[in-house]
Structure 1
Amino acid sequence: MTLAEAVTQIMLPSVLALVMLGMGLSLQAKDFKSVVNAPKAAIIGFLLQLFLLPILALLIIEVLALNQTTAAGLFLLSLCPGGATSNLFSFIAKGNLALSVCLTSIVSMLSPFILPIIFVGFIHFSSNADSEIFNLPLLPAMKQLAVVTLLPTIIGMSIRYFFNDWSQSVMPLIKKGSTIAMLLVISALVLTNVDIIPAMFSLQGVAVISLCGLALIIAYLIAGKLKINDTDRKTIAIEVGVQNAGTAMMIAFTIMHQPTLATIPLLYGLLMNIPAFIFVYWLLNNGKMAMPLKLTS
């Protein structure tokens, strides 16, 4: 087995499962109760992630006239849930962390069933898609995604429920370890796919940054129009704008065995930090910036 195969077939799914286990350990029933008691923000966040992202991806594909591989990679990415990174950005932006974790977990647990069906539909109906190249076996994909994302989350939640004190003691270690491991995996993937580096400065890089940046801005504006409070508004925007590229990479590398399809998720894992950090910086400084305007009005 080559290094590239070891990274994509063993390390990537294992690390993704570890990330989802850590997320499960951070969940308690009360987190879901708070969302159930005030479901408006959660419903809006869920619907925006389910519909806004794929629509944005289709618009970007059309406007930039992306080739079939880039288009498929971008659309696949748009179907992925948020991840630990979105929770981290919500924390930095002083958002609603419970809402962030709940949205991430709900979409992650549903994605093994929703993602393959919508992506197969995209492959089937896209005039540019080549079914021989982009062949996603539906049921095997659902099973593998469930094993890597849904099952570790349920295991983590069960451990938290039955062994609360122990789970809280190991949670920081698992979260830190999974974050470092994911960074190492992405680095290894970049090193074994060095041709991705020029793509950062191409139309592919523009597509990735556009998807993240537009999703952050549009979700934030829509949540504001729907009278969501500022804390939840930040959280919704970040959950919609920051996706778990690891899920898309696993599908491309491990399930579909199409390294070229993983170019966009790999680029996203590197480049999405630019609009995400700019957006969070703006959120944290927006109140300070708005103050002089009020004083001079």
Structure 2
Amino acid sequence: MDSALILGSLPFALGIVMFGLGLGLTLDDFRRVGQHPRAAVVALLCQVVLLPAICFGLVLAFRLPPELAVGMILVAASPGGPTANLYSHLFGGNVALNITLTATNSVLVVVTLPIVVNLSAGYLLAGEAKLGLQFDKMVQVFVIVLVPVAIGMLVRARAPEAAQRLNRPVRVLSVVVLVAVISAVLFGERENLADYFVSVGLAVLVFNLVSLLIGYGVPRLAGVEHRAAIAAGFEIGIHNTALAITIALSPALLDSAEMAIPGAVYGIVMFFTAAGFGWLLTRRARLNPTP
């Protein structure tokens, strides 16, 4: 990725995505954790602890090259994406819980993501030039993640009509931005693309399917009701790949095109697998109604 224009625009592009997320949030979305304590706690534990651990096992099992392996961990450590809300709505999930989980995890990720990335990079890149997110880089993660969200929430609180008008265009723009970022990554690495897909494609697919299954299955085993479990499934299975790609590519952060590849591939795969997963859940619910 030697295009200065693309690299320079990445934080701005992610800012649009996170600003759009903020436009849909209020302080009540954070307070709502208390209304769904079991669902929220189980889903957040899956997202923050279980998923990175499983992903670490997968990258070792698939014997991925170190940079691609760290890129996979970066995806696992990223919060759910705004797209999860849309899928949850389409397939009968508890969208309010989705919004609550996205809001909460977007705050937690400022601490959890650097910890997970540093631990994995310390092991996987042993003997090589180590990359990590030191304190000053954690501050930058804080700025690119939380500041746009806070601005979006402020607009929602102070000018709700303007926020409502902006909400749909910014959501559409967020999808366009995600597609553009993924396309830029794939184009920049086009010479190595076939090798990367061979190396990481199957691992990404397996991890994505496992994420969706864990996101739905673990809450159900914990006694969470069906609609809340659907919400958790999409929240855990659909990651904010724009964040993972931005952190991987930004010269001030990880500055690694290879680490961005898993995020780009995941960003493509998840749209199809999430749709199939939602269809299966809907079909199963029609055949066997569950509480």
TM-score (norm 1): 0.90
**Given the alignment, which residue of 114, 129, 136 partners 1:133?**
129
Could you tell me how far apart the structure 2 residues matched to 1:278 and 1:133 are?
40
For the 8 Å contact 1:56–1:215, the answer to whether it is kept is: no
Structure 2 letter corresponding to 1:4: S
Deviates more, 1:56-65 or 1:41-50: 56-65
Q: Residue by residue, what CA displacement relative to the aligned partner does 1:59-106 show, whole Å, maximum 9, x if unpaired? A: 212222222122211111111111112222212222111111111121
* Aligned counterparts, 1:206-245, within 5 A: 206-245=202-241
Deviates more, 1:27-36 or 1:264-273: 27-36
Q: Secondary structure at the match of 1:272?
A: helix
Q: Secondary structure at the match of 1:190?
A: helix
For the 8 Å contact 2:117–2:133, the answer to whether it is kept is: no
Could you tell me how far apart the structure 1 residues matched to 2:208 and 2:133 are?
28
Return the offset for 1:180: 1.4
* Aligned counterparts, 1:170-249, within 5 A: 170-195=166-191, 197-199=193-195, 201-249=197-245
Report what 2:4 is aligned to. Answer: 5
TM-score (norm 2): 0.92
Structure 2 letter corresponding to 1:148: I
Return the offset for 1:262: 1.2
Structure 2 letter corresponding to 1:116: P
**Shift in CA distance, 266/237, structure 1 to aligned 2, threshold 3 Å:** same
Q: Residue by residue, what CA displacement relative to the aligned partner does 1:235-290 show, whole Å, maximum 9, x if unpaired? A: 11111111111111111110211111111111111122232121111112212344
Gaps of 5+ in 2: none
Could you tell me how far apart the structure 2 residues matched to 1:38 and 1:129 are?
40
2:129 matched to 1:142?
no
Report what 2:63 is aligned to. Answer: 65
Report what 1:94 is aligned to. Answer: 92
Structure 2 letter corresponding to 1:101: I
Structure 2 letter corresponding to 1:219: G
2:102 matched to 1:104?
yes
Structure 2 letter corresponding to 1:120: N
Report what 1:20 is aligned to. Answer: 18
For the 8 Å contact 1:196–1:263, the answer to whether it is kept is: no
Q: Kindly, what percent of the aligned residue pairs are identical?
A: 27
Could you tell me how far apart the structure 2 residues matched to 1:262 and 1:133 are?
17
Could you tell me how far apart the structure 2 residues matched to 1:61 and 1:204 are?
9
Could you tell me how far apart the structure 1 residues matched to 2:264 and 2:172 are?
21
For the 8 Å contact 1:112–1:142, the answer to whether it is kept is: yes
For the 8 Å contact 1:199–1:205, the answer to whether it is kept is: no
Could you tell me how far apart the structure 2 residues matched to 1:239 and 1:163 are?
28
Could you tell me how far apart the structure 1 residues matched to 2:285 and 2:133 are?
49
Structure 2 letter corresponding to 1:170: L
**Shift in CA distance, 162/6, structure 1 to aligned 2, threshold 3 Å:** same
Larger Rg: 1 or 2?
Answer: 1
Could you tell me how far apart the structure 1 residues matched to 2:5 and 2:71 are?
22
* Aligned counterparts, 1:248-259, within 5 A: 248-254=244-250, 255-259=253-257
Q: Secondary structure at the match of 2:79?
A: coil
Return the offset for 1:195: 3.5
Report what 1:32 is aligned to. Answer: 30
Could you tell me how far apart the structure 2 residues matched to 1:273 and 1:115 are?
23
Could you tell me how far apart the structure 2 residues matched to 1:79 and 1:176 are?
25
**Shift in CA distance, 136/201, structure 1 to aligned 2, threshold 3 Å:** closer
**Shift in CA distance, 137/54, structure 1 to aligned 2, threshold 3 Å:** closer
Gaps of 5+ in 1: 292-297
**Shift in CA distance, 200/285, structure 1 to aligned 2, threshold 3 Å:** farther
